[in-house]
Amino acid sequence: MGSTSAHNNEGLGRRNLIKRSAALGLITVPTMGFLSACATGGGTEEKPAAKETGTVSAKNPLGVKNGVALEAFIFKGGLGDQYAKDAEADYKTTYQAEVKHTGTQEVGPKLTPRFAGGTPPDVIDNSGANHLDMNKLSSQGQLQDLGVLLDAASLDDPNKKVRDVIHPSTLEKGKHGDKFDVLYYAFTIYGTWYSQKLLEDKGWAYPKTLDEMVKLCGDIKKEGIAPWTYAGKYPYYVHFNLFAQIAKIGGMPAWVEIDNLEPNAWTKNDAVKEVIEHYEELAAKKYFLEGSEGLTHIQSQTSWTKNKAVFIPNGSWVENEAAPTTPKDFGMSVGALLDGTGDKLPSGTLRGEPSEPYIVSAKGKNPLGGMELLRIMLSKKHAQNFATKVKSLTCVVDATEGMTLSPGLASASAAVKAAGDNLISLQLQEWYPALTDEKIGGLTGQLLTGDLKASEWIKKTQAEADKVAQDSSVTKFKRAG
Amino acid sequence: MQHGKYRFIVGFLALPLIIYGVFVLSPFVQAFQISLTDWSGLVGTANFIGLDNFERLWESDDFWNALRHNVYMLALVPVVTLGLGLFFAFMLNVGGRRKKNEVVTGVTGSKFYKFVFFFPQVISITIVAVIWFNIYNPDPNDGMLNSLLGTVGLDSLQNSWLGEKSIALWCISAVMVWGHVGFYVVLFSAAMASIPRDIYEAALLDGANRFHTFFKITLPLLWDAVQTGWVYMGIIALDAFALVQIMSVNNGGPDGATDVMPLRLYVTAFRDSQFGYASAMGIAMLIVTMTFALLTMRFARRERVEF
């Protein structure tokens, strides 16, 4: 053919080149990482930085020295970093010291070389998708033991130690072995979220048991409203409730077996059967908003704030996230886990996960200052500031008492209080996201559209968990029962 | 002056060749090397494990599932895209009513249509995916497609689209076709413009209709362009990463129904931190793509029509 064809080929060739180079980019990324990883081998044998110590006093129990600079690296995600800046400002005035602040979403990539080079910042909010591997940092001695901080007097009451003002599950979760070296500053509450106003208007009450839930869903459907919606694009949102409900009925020791990927942990647990059959029933009776299986979290939340559906499984960040579409008098509330049969845990049990992990570098220039900043953040003043700024709870117990809270936060706060010691924490998703989000998530999606039977869900979930347990390429974790 | 000439050429080529070597060839070679290790991508050390990754890949249901979806798309997307591209290009260039002074013309407004067809090509694939994700929104009021169906009274056809296991892959394939048809319309139009008008004229004098002119004249003379287009469309169908990653429910779902090889590679590398295994997938993809390209080139070859 004539010259046109040659021209066409040329044009296409260029497109192809771009395509190829994009594909190669995918291969190049790991390669570059490989190279740079090799390049950062040495440099760990740094001499410990001379620690500057000041005079210990009642006001300064850690002995922070005046005028010594502090460097803070704060994850700037959904919660922003203003709350940390506010605490830093207090540090600045108290110790007449410079505070260097960095807000970032790339904590891991930015700080890996600095840890390797022995010049880490003093205090780090190690959150977000690109966070540092804390197990590794801890085992390499990079994390400051925060026991000193726990034993120091709290800022508000010299007679109370810091240990006494923060939540027990925060103390538990922050440990690597016996060493407490991670302070999870915030607290995320998971549960069934609803509009208090809608319930009151219709004369409904938040149910107490699974059976009551099914019954109420029937009443709701008669009114022409969908009882439930969920983020079908991310079915693990459903697990926020579903997993916790299993743990509530079956008890924590049985759930820990699931977390630890023990054989038959799913199949032998009767609570699994009860809970999954409950969801199967909801699906069979068409109690989920039609089309939920294709909605994103934002779309499902919007359907929910528009009162197209009554309940949604979610975490306490939803109040901030759904704020743009939430009507003023919506009365956002969270309900605790429901009662089943022969429950191992009492009514009111709630899933609350410590979040926003703060670490202090052991090999930084000013570890005492880093801990002092945390002590300032753990004061009532700053915990309340956090609640106001980002509508989220901190690990400081009862910090928000007497404050006027936003509806969702007030409800979450009340639920935590009602739960008392019965706050449960699950690890499965954090440890094995490929298992929970992709595999079990896929099954849950099918369960909720009625395409999968409960018995099949349990069988296949057990099979997937077994597969992970036998896969030597997946790093395993264990927690004590 | 031979000597000086080569020095001159080398002087110009050295830099691009070095860049090509470092950024294109060496990653290729290193991907092979990494695929033989258990490198996690997080630390600097890796162990040589021979062909274990490939063995694992061979036994992986997930990977075969993903490959199967790529093959489905490979079978359908190029045919539909090129078919539509050819049809539209023919209509725009040759298919119009006969006018006074011209033997062959396009349909009325063909210039405008050409522009409209090409438009998706100008938009970034990410934006295309986000737009279509919202069109497929299952909400009967907010979702464009469903509300449209509702308005015209076709409520029975309303669907959760990307959330429905049996059609999710085809919903994504449709977007792929939509996004690429315009490019081939323009490509084939350009190729058609080079076909001498007198051939059409002769055919028309003999009483050929549009159908005949298309199959007896246009298609044979365009075969080179079609064949090249086939290879490129095939490679695109074997990729599909961006659309699936952005649009699909639960990253390749529901329940793995839209999973494709590149997505598998991506999650293996960046979520599961198994760069060695992911590199093995990359190599498997390379083999599949090369095989396809070679087969197409081999079997689609036809005698070239000279004119």
DSSP A53-102: B----SS-TT-BPTT--EEEEEE-STT-SHHHHHHHHHHHHHHT--EEEE
Q: Do A387 and A244 reside in the same domain of the chain?
A: no
Q: Do A164 and A284 reside in the same domain of the chain?
A: no
Q: Tell me the CATH number at A375.
A: 3.40.190.10
CB contact under 8 A, A27 and B187: no
| Closest approach of B3 to chain A, Cα-based (Å) | 31
Contact A186/A395 with Cβ under 8 angstroms?
yes
ipTM at complex level: 0.75
CB contact under 8 A, A30 and B143: no
CB contact under 8 A, B27 and A28: yes
Q: Do A317 and A449 reside in the same domain of the chain?
A: yes
From the candidates A302, A325, A438, A467, which should be mutated to test the interface with B, based on the most B CB atoms within 10 A?
A438
CB contact under 8 A, A293 and B265: no
Q: Do A310 and A448 reside in the same domain of the chain?
A: yes
Q: Considering only the beta carbons, identify the residue of B30, B44, B190 that sits closest to A8.
A: B190
Selection from A310, A279, A304, A273 nearest residue A214 by Cα: A279
The answer, for A78 touching chain B at a CB cutoff of 8 Å, is: no
Full set of structural domains in chain B with CATH: 58-299 (1.10.3720.10)
Q: Do A337 and A195 reside in the same domain of the chain?
A: yes
- Residues of chain A with C-beta less than 8 angstroms from the C-beta of B43: 37
- pLDDT of res. A185: 92
Q: Is the peptide bond before A48 cis (omega within 30 degrees of 0)?
A: no
- pLDDT of res. A1: 35
Confidence of residue B304 (pLDDT cuts 50, 70, 90): low
Residue in B with minimal Cα distance to A26: B266
Interface of A with B in 228-247 (CB under 8 A): 232-235
d(CA A265, CA A257): 6
Q: Cα–Cα distances in Å, from B226 out to B83, B223, B232?
A: 10, 5, 10
Summarize pLDDT for A374-413 with one digit per residue, the tens.
Answer: 999 999 999 999 988 888 888 888 887 777 888 888 888 8
- pLDDT of res. A129: 65
CB contact under 8 A, A441 and B39: no
CB atoms within 10 A of CB B243: 25
CB contact under 8 A, A438 and B252: yes
d(CA A355, CA B302): 65
Q: Write the DSSP string, B262-295.
A: HHHHHHHHHTS--HHHHHHHHHHHHHHHHHHHHH
Q: Do A345 and A278 reside in the same domain of the chain?
A: yes
Q: Do A199 and A340 reside in the same domain of the chain?
A: yes
Identify whether A162 is part of a domain.
yes
Q: Do A345 and A360 reside in the same domain of the chain?
A: no
Q: Cα–Cα distances in Å, from A208 out to A105, A278, A319?
A: 40, 14, 23
Identify whether A212 is part of a domain.
yes
Contact B241/B156 with Cβ under 8 angstroms?
no
- Residues of chain B with C-beta less than 8 angstroms from the C-beta of A449: 163, 254
Pairs across A and B, CB distance < 8 A:
171
Residue in B with minimal Cα distance to A40: B44
The answer, for A223 touching chain B at a CB cutoff of 8 Å, is: no
d(CA A266, CA A461): 8
The answer, for A43 touching chain B at a CB cutoff of 8 Å, is: no
- pLDDT of res. A49: 45
CB contact under 8 A, A30 and B277: no
Tokens, residue B139: 């909400």
| Closest approach of B264 to chain A, Cα-based (Å) | 11
- Residues of chain A with C-beta less than 8 angstroms from the C-beta of B272: 434, 473-474
Q: Do A347 and A364 reside in the same domain of the chain?
A: no
- Residues of chain A with C-beta less than 8 angstroms from the C-beta of B251: 437-438
Confidence of residue B82 (pLDDT cuts 50, 70, 90): very high
CB contact under 8 A, B164 and A41: no
- Residues of chain B with C-beta less than 8 angstroms from the C-beta of A451: 165
CB contact under 8 A, B162 and A294: yes
CB contact under 8 A, B137 and A295: yes
Selection from A22, A25, A465, A234 nearest residue B252 by Cα: A234
Tokens, residue A235: 């079915």
d(CA B93, CA B95): 6
Q: Considering only the beta carbons, identify the residue of B164, B194, B278 that sits closest to A4.
A: B194
- pLDDT of res. A478: 80
Summarize pLDDT for B203-257 with one digit per residue, the tens.
Answer: 878 877 777 878 888 888 888 888 888 888 888 888 888 899 888 888 887 888 8
Selection from B81, B78, B266, B77 nearest residue B169 by Cα: B77
**What is the span of the domain harbouring residue A296?**
189-352+426-470
Interface of A with B in 255-284 (CB under 8 A): none
CB contact under 8 A, B265 and A26: yes
- Residues of chain B with C-beta less than 8 angstroms from the C-beta of A292: 138, 160, 163
Identify whether A261 is part of a domain.
yes
pLDDT in tens, chain A (481 residues): 333 333 333 333 444 444 444 444 444 444 444 443 333 233 333 334 446 677 777 788 888 888 889 999 999 876 788 999 999 999 999 999 899 999 988 887 788 778 877 889 999 998 876 777 777 778 778 889 999 999 998 888 888 899 999 888 888 888 877 889 899 999 889 999 999 888 888 888 899 999 999 999 988 888 888 999 998 888 889 999 999 999 999 988 999 989 889 899 899 888 999 999 999 999 998 899 888 888 888 888 888 999 889 999 998 888 888 888 888 888 899 999 998 888 888 888 999 888 889 999 998 889 999 999 999 999 999 999 998 888 888 888 888 777 788 888 888 888 888 888 888 888 888 778 888 888 898 899 889 988 889 999 999 999 999 988 888 877 778 877 6
Q: Do A320 and A377 reside in the same domain of the chain?
A: no
- pLDDT of res. A99: 92
- pLDDT of res. A481: 60
d(CA A208, CA A213): 7
pLDDT top residue among B278 and B298: B278
- Residues of chain B with C-beta less than 8 angstroms from the C-beta of A20: 24
> Domain count of chain A?
2
pLDDT top residue among A31 and B68: B68
Identify whether A12 is part of a domain.
no
- Residues of chain B with C-beta less than 8 angstroms from the C-beta of A298: none
- Residues of chain A with C-beta less than 8 angstroms from the C-beta of B55: none
CB contact under 8 A, A31 and B31: yes
| Closest approach of B159 to chain A, Cα-based (Å) | 7
Q: Amino acid identity, residue A128?
A: G
Q: Considering only the beta carbons, identify the residue of A12, A19, A293 that sits closest to B249.
A: A293
Identify whether A47 is part of a domain.
no
- pLDDT of res. A406: 85
- pLDDT of res. B156: 76
Identify whether A431 is part of a domain.
yes
- pLDDT of res. B173: 92
Identify whether A376 is part of a domain.
yes
- pLDDT of res. A146: 92
A195's CB contacts (< 8 A; 6+ apart) are A304, A305, A307, A310, A330, A331, A332, A333
From the candidates B65, B255, B297, which should be mutated to test the interface with A, based on the most A CB atoms within 10 A?
B255
CB contact under 8 A, B251 and A438: yes
The answer, for A33 touching chain B at a CB cutoff of 8 Å, is: yes
From the candidates A293, A436, A437, A476, which should be mutated to test the interface with B, based on the most B CB atoms within 10 A?
A293
Cα B250 to chain center, whole Å?
Answer: 23
Identify whether A23 is part of a domain.
no
Q: How many CA atoms lie within 13 A of A412 on its CB side?
A: 29
Q: What is the pTM of this model?
A: 0.76
| Closest approach of B88 to chain A, Cα-based (Å) | 18
Q: Do A207 and A306 reside in the same domain of the chain?
A: yes
- Residues of chain B with C-beta less than 8 angstroms from the C-beta of A295: 137-139, 163
The answer, for A38 touching chain B at a CB cutoff of 8 Å, is: yes
Q: Do A168 and A74 reside in the same domain of the chain?
A: yes
